[in-house]
Amino acid sequence: MKIGIFGGTFNPPHLGHYRAVLAAIAALGLDLLYVVPTKAPPHKALLHGTPNPEARYRMAELLFANDARIVVTDLELRRSGLSYTVDTAEAIRAMHPDAKLYLLLGTDMFLTLEQWHRPEELLQIVTPAVFARAEGQEEAIGQQADRLRARYGVETVLIDHVVFEVSSTELREALLRRQGAELVGDAVYGEIVRGRYYEVRHAPEWLMAQVALRNPKRVAHTAGTAEEAVRLAKYWGADVDQAREAAILHDITKGLDQAEQLRLCEKYGMMPDDLERENQKLLHAITGAGEARAVFGAGDAVFDAILYHTTGRADMTLLEKVIYLADYIEPNRAFPEVHRLRELAYMDLDAAVLYGLELTAQELSAKGRAIHPRSHEAVEWLYRR
């Protein structure tokens, strides 16, 4: 049996890791490959804010999920102290005493191998298998292979593969600029956003695509709301990114029927009151906020803006007012009072929200429907201001 060991910080894992691993499995004819996320790397200082080892482990699991030959192991997560590869290699040898073990390494790691903890013991257990990380590294790899052969009597295997030049360091910088999603794949990217790692948020275009997938009929209204929300946010000094995100997601669950809405309420532990339970328009604000947070990684401000976008509430934040009004006056809206409401929205934000609440109250009263107490509280609060 041939087994590969591939350790890394995986901060985050990326397609460079994935492709290198597939190339190694094919080149070496591996039956099994252990991916080993490192808990405390001895040679790499982890920056403040680095996702914890469990989070890096989870991301690695997602990256390598689709291949039964690859097992992501928590061997190093379970050990205390610095994570030495020699300890991991010993543990794997104990589990598979008859297997041939290969240690998979990119050039950078291979060239520093002798500085690792107890290299001679490590090299008695494993055979190094190296893949270049950039073109033109063959000579340096060859020289290091010669040195290791001379010193430790070990034969290095060079894995022939198509170089994929990406590193976690570069990737983190790209993620900060909202780029690089294609270098980690959808599953890992989703996890990064949900976990709010690397200050990543979904690109607005991707969020809009999710709206289109779930509810094509809402695309025009959603795009209009986002446009208006950005305009209002810029005008009144609210956070433009949050406004755009909340606007795009505000109706994300609107296409769901009542039973589905109630299931989501339960899933997210957000219990609707009696009025909300019976009213689709109120329910979608609750479930929209829940989905925005759980599925799309929205933060608290965006969550609240979605949660209160239909009823308003006392003590509304600037962002909540922006989303409430953007939904009401976006360019596709065409009811008689919308012109007055649009004017007010750019003159006196509170007065505009108040007018909006009153218009809704009139409409509901005319239909003999109840007004949610939160809207009453919002009106009273706005009158007091």
Neighbours of 385 (CB within 10 A): 8
Residue 287 contacts ligand ATP per CB under 6 A: no
Closest to ligand ATP by CB, 20 vs 286, is: 20
Binding flag, residue 34, ligand ATP (CB under 6 A): no
Taking the least distance from each CB to ligand ATP, the nearer of 10 and 308 is 10
Nearest in space to 286 (alpha carbons), one of 301, 216, 266: 266
109 binds ligand ATP (CB under 6 A): yes
* For ligand ATP, the closer CB: 37 or 290: 37
| Interacting residue with ligand ATP among 3, 10, 53, 349 (CB under 6 A) | 10
Residues 6+ apart with CB under 8 A from 246: 229, 292, 298, 301, 302, 305, 306, 309, 319, 323
From 14-22, 69-77, 178-186, 308-316, give the range in contact with ligand ATP by CB under 6 A. Answer: 14-22
- 3-state SS, 197-223, equals HHHCCCCHHHHHHHHHHHCHHHHHHHH
Q: Could you say which of 4, 106, 128, 272 contacts ligand ATP (CB under 6 A)?
A: 106
Q: Which residues contact 363 (CB under 8 A, 6 or more apart)?
A: none
Smallest gap from Cβ 73 to ligand ATP, in A, equals 14
Q: What are phi and psi of 347, to 5 degrees?
A: -115, -50
ω into residue 12 within 30 of 0, thus cis? yes
**Candidates 2-10, 257-265, 294-302, 318-326 — which segment interacts with ligand ATP by CB under 6 A?**
2-10
168 is a contact residue toward ligand ATP (CB under 6 A): yes
* Residue 220 CB, nearest approach to ligand ATP (Å): 42
Structure tokens belonging to residue 243: 């406004």
Shortest approach of ligand ATP to residue 117 CB, angstroms? 16
Is 88 a binding residue for ligand ATP by CB under 6 A? The answer is no
Do 185 and 27 form a contact (C-beta atoms < 8 A)? no
Q: Give the residue from 340, 350, 326, 356 showing the smallest Cα distance to 227.
A: 326
* Position closest to ligand ATP via CB: 106
Ordered DSSP codes for 44-102: -PPPTTPPPHHHHHHHHHHHTTT-TTEEE--TTTTS-SS--HHHHHHHHHHH-TTSEEE
Assess 167 for contact with ligand ATP (CB under 6 A).
Answer: yes
Taking CB under 6 A as the criterion, the residue among 54, 67, 108, 257 binding ligand ATP is 108
Query: Nearest distance from residue 297's CB to ligand ATP, in Å?
Result: 23
116 lines the binding site for ligand ATP (CB under 6 A): no
Orientation of helix 240-249 relative to helix 204-214, angle to 10°: 10
The pattern of x and - marking residues 130 through 159 that bind ligand ATP according to CB under 6 A reads -x-x--------------------------
Q: In this complex, which beta carbon is closest to ligand ATP, that of residue 60 or of residue 285?
A: 60
Q: How far is the CB of 5 from ligand ATP (least distance, A)?
A: 10
Phi, psi of 134 (to 5 degrees): -150, 160
Residue closer to ligand ATP by CB (options 169, 332) is 169
Is residue 296 at the binding interface for ligand ATP, with CB under 6 A as the rule? no
> Which two three-digit tokens encode residue 240?
């433009």
- Give the pairing type, strands 100-106 and 2-8: parallel
Contact pick of 169, 179, 280, 332 for ligand ATP (by CB under 6 A)? 169
Q: Does 258 bind ligand ATP (CB under 6 A)?
A: no
Q: Is the Cβ–Cβ distance between 164 and 21 less than 8 Å?
A: no
Residue 94 CB, nearest approach to ligand ATP (Å): 23
Do the beta carbons of residue 163 and residue 130 sit within 8 Å?
Answer: no
Residues in the interface with ligand ATP (CB under 6 A) total 17
Query: Taking the complex as a whole, how short is the minimal distance between the CB of residue 70 and ligand ATP, in angstroms?
Result: 14
Q: Which residues pair with 105 in a beta bridge?
A: 130
Query: Any residues with CB less than 8 A from the CB of 364 and at least 6 apart, and which?
Result: 370, 371
Q: Which residues bind ligand ATP (CB under 6 A)?
A: 8-10, 16-17, 20, 105-106, 108-109, 131, 133, 164, 166-169
